[in-house]
Structure 1
Amino acid sequence: MKITYLSVKRVLILILIFFCSIVFGFSQSKFVVQNKKHTDKINFKLINNLIVIPVEVNGVDLSFLLDTGVSKPIIFNFLNVSDTLKIKDTETIFLRGLGEGESVEALKSKNNVFKIGDAINLKQDLYAVYDSNLNFAPRLGFPVHGIIGFDLFKDLVVEISYSKKILKLTDSDKYVYKECKKCERLNLEFYNNKPYINTEVRMNERMIPIKLLIDSGGSDALWLFEDDLLGIKSSDKFFHDFLGHGLSGSVYGKRSKVETFYLKSFELNKVNVSYPDSAYIAYARRHKNRNGSLSGNILKRFNVIFDYRKALVTLKKNHYFGEKFRYNKSGIELAHNGFRLVREQDNVIKVADVRGNYGDSQNQNGTRIIMNPQYKLSLKPAYEIVELRENSPAARSGLRKGDIVLSINNKGTHQFKLQELIQMFYEDEGKRIKIKVERDAIVMTFEFELENIFQ
């Protein structure tokens, strides 16, 4: 075979083109879906209306909250971040968020490798926070190592199927919209890299236009900032409660209902609403036109398409849409707090023939089964009462913050996930709750009924 100079030159050019495509394809400082289809699907967990996705950071597999309310990714302190993730190019900064506390110290790090499915960013900034109080895992009952938001949404079209628990990521310039007659499309506005929509709410027999932050990192349905001039204020039926935990501490306020909440043609009735006390939302109100937040308990009722490049969000109803808006009728907030030793029965089945000799078979003629109960000690999650609403049914029964809950209605709590236990407090009013707790090494039992304040 004769090889000419021209053919060698062509081969070298092809190699150079291939090499350059690899270098430039993997040197991006934004998220790019690295496959031929330019799209990928990722399964997620839906925990207390929050989306938890797998994220690989510098080769380490982690779990992150998908939060439209944050800009740069944040890693929490309970990892040894510097050693485990090998973060570099750091500088110390201070972050501020919801809550009445001070700003929290963090390390800002550049040039980290983030991978979500086939979506990769090789030069991702992140913040590493070392405040021991900033740990969402105990309240979710699931390990969560960080939060991610704007930097993912700005680069890709993000489809969230709450009904199937699937996240679909597509390169923005490759996304093709499908005709959807049952969808509603709303315009997005941005402030500090956070998405806002304009909509309406009916309350106190008035239609009120409102501007809301879309906050997929909040588990409530709706937060509104009270404003007498605009007519945004709680009805007479409300109670004071713990609303959540922000970057700068806990947030408290009123819980109530609004008559109707609108997203164009979609109407949601008797929607849960929270009115955070002004002391806890000073930072959030820096956007003076903001009237509150639209969060997970409403978002989960739709399959959602976020397209930040075109400033659009598309909504389509799913099977969650018709669910009633329920709330915690007990007054108890539980969290995972370490582990406790649980004595469990471990039955050993033995088989004996009629002469009393033990054999291996349980089904042979002339045999009898002998149950030989044995017990073992196992480490199981300990669930603690971390918030207790004043004058709630649970508080009136004598329960206290700090009590370790051993059983609910005679079922050991170690048999359940945290969210399964919490759902017991969302059942219908009149439901009898019997709780056994440990307090100062003493086991105590309390009983109360769930109450519906809004009837």
Structure 2
Amino acid sequence: MKPLTSAIKLSYLKTFLIFMAFMLIFHTGNAQSFQFSGTRQKDVVNFTLIKNLIIIPVYINEKGPFNFILDTGVGPMIISDPSLADSLKIKDLRTIKIAGLGKGNEIEAFVSRSISATVGKSFIDQIPTAILKEDLFRLSSYVGMPIHGLLGYHFFKSFIVEIKYSSKRMIFFVPELNRKIKGERVPLEMINDKPYALINIESSELGKLPLKVLIDNGASHAVSLEILNEKPFPVPGASIPANLGMGLGGPISGNIGRIPSLKIGTFELKKVLTSFPKYDEVAGKILLKDRNGNLGADILSRFDIVFDYADNSMYLRRNSNFKRPFEHDMAGMEVYADGPNIDHYFISRIEPGSPAEISGLEPEDEIAYLNFVPVTTYTLTEINRILRAGDGKSVIITILRKGQLHIKLLKLKQRI
């Protein structure tokens, strides 16, 4: 059992798909689409929502279901669990090398066009697919349940897709159904099979700024700002150093701060948590330079959204989560799930000077009890909620270290 060396943020794990090499391999724009059989025009699928990420059941080559993250930020389908390639006996695999993000080198993946996928009553044959040779994403550990991959562009381009975060339901239908779409229309620009939109931010250092961002509901954070006028995006003075995630090539560092105001369409959000990754670890490695960053699921989940790729648009309606405050980890540590049933919880990283370090917690500690309640009664989402319970609140953590139990008092602190 090897603990994660850093937090996993899906935005950075996926960014390699922006590279033109993948687009040249797959030619995704000319690929087949999902379709219904017979006269069916519409379907509904319930989804699981963890860390603002949408998890849906997908059948691969008529086997499954497998848990996939539905993700506007990916083009080809990604199978992140390499054991699937063996169990499904996938043929016609080709090996490619991909430049990673972070401080490491390139990694290898298989590519295939001999895979079929089924979502609800819809199906697609020969969907372009990337299969990682190693489970670099560690998605199962990140969300606390088995995750096998990510599905994006080919599903969204096939239907008009309505995501109801408020009820955890996805409705998708063919454009010919001519169903009236509710909500405020936000124009999209499709670049390499991914949707981009304009937002506006306002800060004391920069004033008002229009920005172009990737609409990335497969990134659990609120917003990440990487580049401005072909230079690193200015980091606000009121920010803290942070390890922002793992890229395919290693850890990504940077800062976390707050934007006083962010507007998308006519909707305005206040005090938005914002990531500022180091330029040379993210933006400096991306061939596409005409974006400022990406807008993630901590913002998108505050709306019920309709994606209409054929019309280059999405429609937003605020839901009951709209006024939810943006909260950062108040413990200064990251927790991941592991073990045969993904039901053991470990500390992977502790930030210097944080409440976790002050309390005497260490990386690789296994959490046994929270407030004297067995940790096995909690989900990973519930554990993270406890660690964001509020400034000044105390959490009693019992950890297992080298075979011995230790009780630690953790006093939470709002650090940004």
Q: TM-score range by the shorter chain?
A: 0.7 to 0.9
Deviations 1:194-227 (A, max 9, x none): 1110121011261111000011111000101254
- Is this contact kept in 2: 1:98–1:283, CA < 8 A? no
TM-score calculated relative to the size of structure 1: 0.80
The residue number in structure 2 matching 1:233 is 234
The alpha-carbon deviation at position 333 of structure 1 amounts to: 0.6
Q: Secondary structure of 1:112's match?
A: coil
The alpha-carbon deviation at position 80 of structure 1 amounts to: 4.1
The alpha-carbon deviation at position 247 of structure 1 amounts to: 3.5
Cα distance in 2 for partners of 1:211, 1:172 equals 27
Aligned CA RMSD, in angstroms, stands at: 2.1
The residue number in structure 2 matching 1:185 is 185
Cα distance in 1 for partners of 2:154, 2:230 equals 36
* Partner of residue 136 from structure 1, selected from 114, 136, 139: 139
Whether 1:409 aligns to 2:368 is no
Q: In structure 2, do the counterparts of structure 1 residues 99 and 148 end up closer, same or farther at CA, with 3 Å as the change threshold?
A: farther
Q: In structure 2, do the counterparts of structure 1 residues 40 and 105 end up closer, same or farther at CA, with 3 Å as the change threshold?
A: same
Cα distance in 2 for partners of 1:201, 1:231 equals 17
The alpha-carbon deviation at position 139 of structure 1 amounts to: 1.5
The alpha-carbon deviation at position 193 of structure 1 amounts to: 1.4
- Is this contact kept in 2: 1:58–1:86, CA < 8 A? no
The residue number in structure 1 matching 2:411 is 449
The residue number in structure 2 matching 1:68 is 72
Cα distance in 1 for partners of 2:232, 2:99 equals 29
Q: Secondary structure of 1:40's match?
A: strand
Runs of 4+ in 1 over 4 A off after TM superposition: 228-232
Q: In structure 2, do the counterparts of structure 1 residues 202 and 284 end up closer, same or farther at CA, with 3 Å as the change threshold?
A: farther
The alpha-carbon deviation at position 228 of structure 1 amounts to: 7.9
* Partner of residue 89 from structure 1, selected from 89, 92, 95: 92
Q: Secondary structure of 1:423's match?
A: helix
Cα distance in 2 for partners of 1:231, 1:418 equals 34
Superposed counterparts of 1:43-54, under 5 Å: 43-54=46-57
- Is this contact kept in 2: 1:99–1:247, CA < 8 A? yes
Corresponding letter in the other structure for 2:131? A
The residue number in structure 2 matching 1:304 is 305
The alpha-carbon deviation at position 158 of structure 1 amounts to: 1.2
Deviations 1:385-410 (A, max 9, x none): 01211211101222111111111211
Q: Secondary structure of 1:128's match?
A: strand
- Is this contact kept in 2: 1:113–1:124, CA < 8 A? yes
Structure 1: runs of 5+ lacking an equivalent:
1-27, 340-378
Corresponding letter in the other structure for 2:72? T
Corresponding letter in the other structure for 1:195? P
The residue number in structure 2 matching 1:333 is 334
| Seq. identity, % | 30
The residue number in structure 2 matching 1:197 is 197
The residue number in structure 1 matching 2:352 is 390
Answer 1 or 2: which has greater strand percent.
1
The alpha-carbon deviation at position 229 of structure 1 amounts to: 8.3
Cα distance in 1 for partners of 2:270, 2:139 equals 30
The alpha-carbon deviation at position 59 of structure 1 amounts to: 1.4
Q: In structure 2, do the counterparts of structure 1 residues 299 and 118 end up closer, same or farther at CA, with 3 Å as the change threshold?
A: same
Q: In structure 2, do the counterparts of structure 1 residues 410 and 432 end up closer, same or farther at CA, with 3 Å as the change threshold?
A: same
Corresponding letter in the other structure for 1:415? T
Whether 1:425 aligns to 2:387 is yes
* Partner of residue 116 from structure 1, selected from 119, 122, 142: 119
- Is this contact kept in 2: 1:224–1:275, CA < 8 A? yes
Higher CA-based Rg: 1
Cα distance in 2 for partners of 1:313, 1:33 equals 23
Whether 1:250 aligns to 2:246 is no
Q: Secondary structure of 1:386's match?
A: strand
Whether 1:161 aligns to 2:123 is no
Corresponding letter in the other structure for 1:400? E
Cα distance in 2 for partners of 1:97, 1:174 equals 41
Corresponding letter in the other structure for 2:216? D
Q: In structure 2, do the counterparts of structure 1 residues 222 and 451 end up closer, same or farther at CA, with 3 Å as the change threshold?
A: same
Q: In structure 2, do the counterparts of structure 1 residues 97 and 200 end up closer, same or farther at CA, with 3 Å as the change threshold?
A: farther
Cα distance in 1 for partners of 2:232, 2:137 equals 35
- Is this contact kept in 2: 1:208–1:231, CA < 8 A? no
Superposed counterparts of 1:210-289, under 5 Å: 210-225=211-226, 227=228, 232-282=233-283, 285-289=286-290
Structure 2: runs of 5+ lacking an equivalent:
1-30
The alpha-carbon deviation at position 231 of structure 1 amounts to: 9.9
